[in-house]
Amino acid sequence: MRYSVFAGGKRLRPILVIAGAEAVGGGLTDVMPTACALECIHTYSLIHDDLPAMDDDDFRRGHPTNHKVYGEAIAILAGDGLLTLAFRLIAEPGSPATPPGVLRAVLAEIADAAGTLGMVGGQVVDIESEGRQISAETLEYIHTHKTAALIRASLRSGALLGGATGQQLDAIGVAGGRLGLAFQVVDDILDVEGNLDELGKTAGSDQRKQKATYPDHHGLEAARVMARTLIHEAKSALAPFGPAADPIRALADFVFERRS
């Protein structure tokens, strides 16, 4: 578990939890355990995604994948352990003033985003689509569920713990959904254009596994335009928050410009 969590990684999801809280006037202490929980869930998904039964990848975060070092059984268990640890962390709020109702809402938010309604569901359709022609709608379903759901839940959980109103939560959810989809579109582009040194994982793996991607479906340039549009839409949804949402805006720019 420690090997994969501390192998590196951009920490985008935990940073989004913190930024979500700050956008509505919350602070670091309200959200730190939940921010760590999101990174645990994300890292579990990477360990399991790299397994021979899934994407069968040799490198992640610039290091050999978990199963290459510890074997498949321990890699599966490390993922299971991280997922379970995440919910243990969320159960212990950063601030004792967090109302139990808010904690329940955060638990439901994250469970939905990580489970069959979100990441697991997206991964199932992704695997079943390998090597097949799929519609643009199915491609969007895969990416909004496999990747965007957890990114959206990161922002929304932070906002919930920071004391967001219903309206604020809706707006931040729209921003998170657009940002999450943009993240995946850029990920697809990087898989075509990047290399092992920059990415920390082997490039070109989508094509090798005949995965459905945005550049494949729409072309590289259209995928770039799509990512830019999604970032713009994310920022538009943040308008009501004023300067308090500047960190999220900066993260949106980072998502578009990143090389790893």
CB under 6 A: which stretch of 9-17, 18-26, 30-38, 165-173 binds ligand GRG? 9-17
The whole-angstrom separation of Cα 49 and Cα 206 is: 13
Asked if 14 and 154 touch (Cβ cutoff 8 Å), the reply is: yes
Asked if 255 and 231 touch (Cβ cutoff 8 Å), the reply is: yes
For ligand GRG, the binding residue among 19, 61, 89, 179 (CB under 6 A) is 61
For ligand GRG, the binding residue among 67, 146, 152, 178 (CB under 6 A) is 146
The whole-angstrom separation of Cα 216 and Cα 125 is: 17
Residue 65 sits in the site that holds ligand GRG (CB under 6 A): no
* 163 versus 200: smaller Cβ distance to ligand GRG: 200
Residue 34 sits in the site that holds ligand GRG (CB under 6 A): no
Asked if 34 and 155 touch (Cβ cutoff 8 Å), the reply is: no
Residue 12 sits in the site that holds ligand GRG (CB under 6 A): yes
Q: At its nearest, how many Å lie between ligand GRG and the CB of residue 21? A: 20
Residue 184 sits in the site that holds ligand GRG (CB under 6 A): yes
Residue 187 sits in the site that holds ligand GRG (CB under 6 A): yes
CB under 6 A: which stretch of 15-23, 40-48, 87-95, 227-235 binds ligand GRG? 40-48
Residue type present at position 242: G
Asked if 24 and 241 touch (Cβ cutoff 8 Å), the reply is: yes
Cα separation of the two ends of the chain: 22
Residue 145 sits in the site that holds ligand GRG (CB under 6 A): no
Query: Token pair for residue 95?
Result: 């601030």
* 129 versus 168: smaller Cβ distance to ligand GRG: 129
Phi, psi at 250, each rounded to 5°: -65, -40
For ligand GRG, the binding residue among 31, 38, 46, 153 (CB under 6 A) is 46
User: Phi-psi bin for 45: left (phi > 0), alpha (psi -120 to 50), beta?
Assistant: alpha
CB under 6 A: which stretch of 41-49, 158-166, 209-217, 238-246 binds ligand GRG? 41-49
Kindly state the DSSP code that residue 57 receives in the 8-state scheme: -
Residue 152 sits in the site that holds ligand GRG (CB under 6 A): no
Q: For the purposes of burial, counting CB atoms within 10 Å of the CB of 174, is it exposed (0-12), middle (13-18) or buried (19 or more)?
A: middle
What string marks each residue from 83 to 122 as x (binds ligand GRG by CB under 6 A) or -?
------------------------------------xx--
* 24 versus 126: smaller Cβ distance to ligand GRG: 126
Query: Token pair for residue 44?
Result: 């579990």
For ligand GRG, the binding residue among 4, 98, 123, 213 (CB under 6 A) is 123
Residue for token digits 């967090």?
98
Asked if 159 and 172 touch (Cβ cutoff 8 Å), the reply is: yes
Residues of this chain that interact with ligand GRG (CB under 6 A) are 9-10, 12, 42, 45-46, 48-49, 61, 119-120, 123, 146-147, 184, 187
